Amino acid sequence: MKKGEFLYEGKAKRLYKTDHPDVLWLEYKDDATAFNGQKRASLTGKGQLNNAISSWFFTLLSRHGIQHHFLDTVSDREQLVRPVTILPLEVVVRAIAAGSLCRRLGLAEGTKLPHVLVEWYYKDDALGDPLVTEDHIALLQLATPVQLAFMKDQALQIHTILQQALEPKGIVLVDFKLEFGLDANGRLMLADEISPDTCRFWDAASGKKMDKDRFRQDLGGTLEGYQEILERLGGGANV
Amino acid sequence: MKKGEFLYEGKAKRLYKTDHPDVLWLEYKDDATAFNGQKRASLTGKGQLNNAISSWFFTLLSRHGIQHHFLDTVSDREQLVRPVTILPLEVVVRAIAAGSLCRRLGLAEGTKLPHVLVEWYYKDDALGDPLVTEDHIALLQLATPVQLAFMKDQALQIHTILQQALEPKGIVLVDFKLEFGLDANGRLMLADEISPDTCRFWDAASGKKMDKDRFRQDLGGTLEGYQEILERLGGGANV
């Protein structure tokens, strides 16, 4: 497999063609951004850590029968993925209140939610990725009701799988963000990444944050947090 | 019926007891507020106009079998209502994009929506009355699923009734906000007011705004807009 033509650059990743039409080449960058891109930094090594962590989670999900775009890891910071057209929705799954949920509903950070909550956000930087209801999604035709039901079901299944894998490693899964995409056959599947950039992970014993909130909140030690997650997952070697 | 002890003062109305336990005395104030109370003014005559307009709409809804808190008009700016405990939810019904929907979804003002849209907002000044989903409402126990279904059904029925009454009068019903409350028997019913403070009304011919947006957007002639609505409804006399 050869890395081909550059296709797209996002906030945290770059996408390239390969010499195979059904495979793309995904490169994780060291760039860190927060608050809709208003806060930016380069954290040397972040791309490598997220590539390893995301590969670990996608491999775990494969073992549980969840379809996704990830195919294989090809280097420290690169992986092969299926080409999909990402739906402009962020699917946020929450077990514990943090971040925008606390600001929206006035809940204290750390409040355990009575049920796992799924929220939809419209991926639109100019609008600030607003919360949307299923009626808004229908209105803008961002996804069909069947697609929404599928993504919600997948999101809840993924929550269960991740939570059960992380608990024995002393990691609390607070919340996470998923993105889904349609492949060439119109099949909807999980895409994007699963990493400390897109999840909130707290140490079960101390409550210490080991995710992008360290960067957002200027807590320092961002990469050390990501490194700690990777080590607890087994260094990426023994999924 | 006698006006009794003062109970509560809101942004636009004051509530008093009466000598009857099942009846409260509601007084419409001239105060105008917008943007969560950040913009304030006193518009002499607004209370009188909203009392008449709201009485007109509640009387119309009674004729169509919609239960609500309104009982009778007792003076230019006062009406009698049933005591209800207001649920902390604003129920917003939209036929045409305006206001926060345009800002949230990036729609142009005036875009006709493919279906009438119902949104929920959490009534909490400190949080800025945020949009909430039905899952958020369940989480905060703001209303039961049965109550939500009832309010949504009532809101859509009310939209049809208002729209059909306003269209022949050359008034476009853009959107409106409802509040519901529980009476002493736990029966949920429409409460609050229906007026140019809580609805967007546009002139069908010119698109001219005849509602609180004239105040919000410093268009001038706010009370003239409210007066125009009352006149087109028949001056409050011949519902």
Which of A84, A33, A88 shows the shortest CA–CA distance to A198?
A: A33
Helix boundaries (H) for B25-133: 46-63, 100-105
Please give the pLDDT value at position A1. 87
Q: Give the C-alpha separation, A64 to A190, whole Å.
A: 13
pLDDT, position A234: 93
CATH 3.40.50.1370: does it fit domain A88-221?
no
Report the chain B residue with the minimal C-alpha distance to residue A102.
B127
| Nearest residue of chain A to residue B139 (CA atoms) | A114
Chain B positions touching A139 (Cβ under 8 A) are 105, 113-115, 117
Set of chain A residues whose Cβ sits within 8 Å of the Cβ of B132: 104-105
As given in the structure block, the two tokens for residue B237 are: 């006399």
The percent of chain B in helix, strand and coil, each rounded to the nearest 5, is 30, 35, 35
Alpha-carbon gap, residue A199 to A36, rounded angstroms: 16
**Residue A237 pLDDT exceeds 50:** no
Asked if the Cβ–Cβ distance from B136 to A105 is below 8 Å, we say yes
Contacts of A90 in chain B (CB under 8 A): none
Indicate the helix (H) or strand (E) that contains A53: helix A46-63
How far, in Å, CA of B132 to CA of A117, rounded?
12
How many C-beta neighbours within 10 Å does residue B6 have?
Answer: 12
Using the Cβ of A114 and the Cβ atoms of chain B, whether some distance falls under 8 Å is answered with yes
Inspect the interface and report whether the beta carbons of B105 and A136 lie closer than 8 Å: yes
Mean pLDDT of A140-156: 98
Q: What is the pLDDT along chain B (239 residues), one digit of tens a residue?
A: 899 999 999 999 999 999 999 999 999 999 999 998 899 999 999 999 999 999 999 999 999 999 999 999 999 999 999 999 999 999 999 999 999 999 999 999 999 999 999 999 999 999 999 999 999 999 999 999 999 999 999 999 999 999 999 999 999 999 999 999 999 999 999 999 999 999 999 999 999 999 999 999 999 999 999 999 999 999 754 33
pLDDT, one tens digit per residue, over A55-93 is 999 999 999 999 999 999 999 999 999 999 999 999 999
Cβ <8 Å between A136 and B117: yes
Q: pTM of this prediction?
A: 0.94
In this structure, chain A runs to a length of 239
Which residues in B lie closer than 8 A to residue A118 (C-beta atoms)?
135
pLDDT of residue A239: 37
Place of tokens 């087994």: A234
Q: How close does chain A come to B105, measured CA to CA in Å?
A: 7
Inter-axis angle of helices A46-63 and A222-232, to 10 degrees? 30
Using an 8 Å CB-CB cutoff, list chain B residues near A126.
106
Range of weakest confidence among A34-38, A80-84, A192-196, B72-76: A34-38
For residue B41, CA distances in Å to A9, A212, B210 come to: 49, 44, 17
Give the residue-averaged pLDDT of A172-185.
97
Q: Where in chain A is the domain with CATH 3.30.470.20?
A: 88-221
Complex confidence, ipTM: 0.93
State residue A235's pLDDT score. Answer: 77
Q: Name the residue of chain A whose CA is nearest to B122's CA.
A: A105
Q: Range(s) for CATH 3.30.200.20 in chain A?
A: 3-81
Is B124 within 8 Å of A106 when comparing Cβ atoms? yes
The domain covering A3-81 belongs, at the CATH homologous superfamily level, to Phosphorylase Kinase; domain 1 (3.30.200.20)
Give the number of residues written for chain B.
Answer: 239
